[in-house]
Amino acid sequence: MTEEIIIAGFGGQGVLSMGKILAYSGAMQDKEVSWMPSYGPEMRGGTANVSVIISDERISSPIISQFDTAIILNQQSLDKFENSVKAGGTLLYDPNGITKPPTRKDINIYKVAATEKSAELGMSKVFNMIVLGAFLKVKPVVTEEFIEKGLFKSLPERHHKLIPENLKAVQTGKELVETVNKS
């Protein structure tokens, strides 16, 4: 199994940390992982993206241009990455702020209203974990047990008390995800 993922959105949405938690969780589950962020000035208030690979084999290239899954959190990223999803692949997006929804028919498309839900629950800090939950429902590349371990490993100790809230958000995401298109 090799899953090549792009996560893209605005800086500040927790894109990089979501990828990090996913990578840590994969590593905890004894998989090969890589996490490759976009970096530099484009991060300052602009868009941010990270590619994460989780695999049972040695990862050849951490630099990828086509993805099994795209997790998309704003319109610019949707415009940029919709066509980079492999045929038969998966696109998951948050409809908040999306004016031109994805149109491809040859990929599986899901949406998760994580922005809306996290605001409603007063959980805006764990918005990204709702999205992660939705992804894991669609693509269970790591099991929940290892998500918890990944959180422990990736969060600084002073934030460990927030782990239960994070795990609750993952559950919320799993329940919230909706199918838009089946290829």
Binding mask 29-68 toward other proteins (x if CB under 8 A, else -) reads: ---xxxxxx-xxx-----------------xxxxxxxx--
Nearer Cβ to other proteins (34/76): 34
* Residue 148 engages other proteins in binding (rule: CB under 8 A): no
Question: Where are the strands (E) in 31-164, listed by range?
Answer: 32-37, 47-55, 67-72, 85-93, 108-111
Nearer Cβ to other proteins (30/161): 30
| Cα distance between residue 177 and residue 18, in whole Å | 17
Distance in Å, CB of 128 to other proteins, minimum? 17
Distance in Å, CB of 24 to other proteins, minimum? 6
DSSP calls for 27-54: HHTT-EEEEEE--SGGGSSSEEEEEEEE
Q: How many helices (H) and strands (E) does the chain have?
A: 6, 7
Which positions from 2 through 21 interact with other proteins, judged by CB under 8 A?
20
Cβ pair 138, 177 in contact under 8 A? yes
* Residue 153 engages other proteins in binding (rule: CB under 8 A): yes
Instruction: Sort strands 85-93 and 108-111 into parallel, antiparallel or unpaired.
Output: parallel
Distance in Å, CB of 73 to other proteins, minimum? 20
* Residue 174 engages other proteins in binding (rule: CB under 8 A): no
Distance in Å, CB of 36 to other proteins, minimum? 5
| Cα distance between residue 116 and residue 71, in whole Å | 17
Which chain residues interact with other proteins by CB under 8 A?
20, 23-24, 27, 32-37, 39-41, 59-66, 153-154
